[in-house]
Amino acid sequence: MLTNSDITELTAFRRALHRVPELSGFEVETAARVVAALGDAPDRVVAGLGGHGVAAVFDSGLAGPSVLFRCELDALPIQEISSAAHRSTIDGKGHLCGHDGHTTILMGLARLLARKRPAKGRVILMFQPAEEDGSGAAAVIADPKFDGLHPDWAFSLHNMPGCKLGECWLAEGPVNCASVGMKITLEGKTSHAAQPEHGVSPARAVAALIPALGALGQGGPLGPEYRLATITHVTLGEPNFGVSPAHGEIWVTLRTMLDEPMAALRAEAEGLAKAQADAGGLRLTITYHDDFAACANNPQATEVFANVLDRLGIVHDQGDLPERASEDFGRFSNLQGTKGAMVFLGSGLDHPALHNPDYDFPDDLIPIGTEIFHRITRQILG
């Protein structure tokens, strides 16, 4: 269990991270702070994983399972609104999802493991980069340095406003949706606004695609057939009254509860875009971004979480799971041979929502999250 001194020092560490947020793919200083704070406590530190990821390995030296705990390093491109002394010092960037707190929880676990190694097997603390854009977990797993780190078990947590402080939401099966950002680019030819017939404008195609794409998935109750298509950004030409446009873009986020229906939803969206481009004589380019796999909790890993929460006397239920939001942990829990699960740790019923400009991670969750993870290591590895 963490001491009062540990909690004071870890709180200071969390607030130091909060002051200097770094966006997905740019977590250079955050990773360096993690490596420095770990010091020589782990048996092995692997840095530069999938970009700026860090893995800290605590090895018993005896045969046994590999248990991975994952947190996230990145922040968000949002201006923080706060009067706290530890508020962000970087304009337009903020730790407004709690990744600074999740990182600190793993640092707390590192302290406990340094004092007493697991009785068998090993623990891998995975400080993952680029969670917010869905690229980090895939990059870590594809990195040759990840070879030899493949876990038998994988666990993660996310703080959850709307859930009572210190209580948990936990459920077997799907907990977060799959999603992907689709960028549709349409190119024609400019002309004078007085002679639009001499150009090729994407205006009609853009106007037709907005409702057509939205109609592909209109949400509703979460279930195997759930689909949602959300238009997030549209551009058409330049802000000029004298030029008929040549360039149009539509950004749409496609969302399904499971991975399998996503391929069909992509294909239908692509078909709509191609039909409009062909009809308007436009060049079409489609690119995909922020690609998240669905996140589902393995039954055995969920049972481990439930047993630990019960022993700690932490109230837990299904809450509002599954969620429509996406989570990059799905790529770890989907690994062949890995049993993975994520728990959602309550930040308070009235706590500002994730990604809100006034959000801040509750420091009271640091010892709770650390103890949950520590009990898991002892339950599986002794």
Which of 237, 264, 292 is the last residue before a domain boundary? 292
Number of structural domains in the chain: 2
Which of 243, 274, 292 is the last residue before a domain boundary? 292
pLDDT at 255: 98
Cα 252 to Cα 37: distance, rounded to the nearest angstrom: 40
pLDDT tens digits, one per residue of 6-56:
999 999 999 999 999 999 999 999 999 999 999 999 999 999 999 999 999
pLDDT at 114: 98
The reply to whether 288 and 299 lie within a common domain is: no
| Residue among 133, 139, 125, 104 at smallest CA distance from 42 | 125
The reply to whether 280 and 311 lie within a common domain is: no
pLDDT tens digits, one per residue of 312-370:
999 999 999 999 999 999 999 999 999 999 999 999 999 999 999 999 999 999 999 99
Cα 183 to Cα 336: distance, rounded to the nearest angstrom: 31
The reply to whether 49 and 171 lie within a common domain is: yes
Q: What is the CATH number of the domain that holds 198?
A: 3.30.70.360
pLDDT at 208: 98
Band of residue 120 on the pLDDT scale cut at 50, 70, 90: very high
Q: What is the CATH number of the domain that holds 24?
A: 3.40.630.10
Average pLDDT over residues 215-239: 96
35 in Cβ contact with 45 (< 8 Å): yes
CA angle 137/316/126 to nearest 5° reads 20
Band of residue 296 on the pLDDT scale cut at 50, 70, 90: very high
Residue recorded with tokens 């969620």 = 323
The reply to whether 54 and 167 lie within a common domain is: yes
pLDDT at 162: 97
The DSSP H or E segment spanning 268 is helix 260-280
Which of 292, 327, 348 is the last residue before a domain boundary? 292
The reply to whether 276 and 346 lie within a common domain is: no
Average pLDDT over residues 202-228: 96
Residue recorded with tokens 């436009």 = 282
Band of residue 309 on the pLDDT scale cut at 50, 70, 90: very high
Cα 160 to Cα 74: distance, rounded to the nearest angstrom: 17
CA-atom Rg of the chain in angstroms: 23
pLDDT at 365: 98
pLDDT at 102: 98
The reply to whether 276 and 230 lie within a common domain is: yes
**What whole-number percentage of the chain has pLDDT above 90?**
100
Cα 177 to Cα 82: distance, rounded to the nearest angstrom: 31
Cα 305 to Cα 234: distance, rounded to the nearest angstrom: 43
Contacts by 41-47 with C-beta closer than 8 Å and gap 24+?
A: 41/110, 41/111, 41/113, 41/114, 42/110, 42/113, 42/114, 42/125, 43/122, 46/145, 46/149
47 in Cβ contact with 35 (< 8 Å): yes
**pTM for the structure as a whole:** 0.95
Neighbours of 321 (CB within 10 A): 20
pLDDT tens digits, one per residue of 260-276:
999 999 999 999 999 99
Residue recorded with tokens 């399972």 = 65
How confident is the prediction for the chain on average, in pLDDT?
97
The reply to whether 20 and 123 lie within a common domain is: yes
87 in Cβ contact with 18 (< 8 Å): yes
The reply to whether 300 and 215 lie within a common domain is: no
Domain that holds residue 274: 178-292
pLDDT tens digits, one per residue of 168-179:
999 999 999 999
Per-residue exposure over 337-374, b if at least 16 CB sit within 10 Å of its own CB, e if not: ebbbbbbbbbbbeebbebebeebbbbbebbbbbbbbbb
Average pLDDT over residues 245-265: 97
The reply to whether 171 and 270 lie within a common domain is: no
Cα 51 to Cα 145: distance, rounded to the nearest angstrom: 11
Per-residue exposure over 244-261, b if at least 16 CB sit within 10 Å of its own CB, e if not: bbbbbbbbbbbbbbbbeb
The reply to whether 10 and 92 lie within a common domain is: yes
The reply to whether 236 and 272 lie within a common domain is: yes
The reply to whether 100 and 27 lie within a common domain is: yes
- Dihedral in degrees, nearest 10, Cα atoms 339, 332, 294, 143: -150
Band of residue 66 on the pLDDT scale cut at 50, 70, 90: very high
pLDDT tens digits, one per residue of 133-142:
999 999 999 9
Angle between helices 99-115 and 28-38 (to 10 degrees): 20
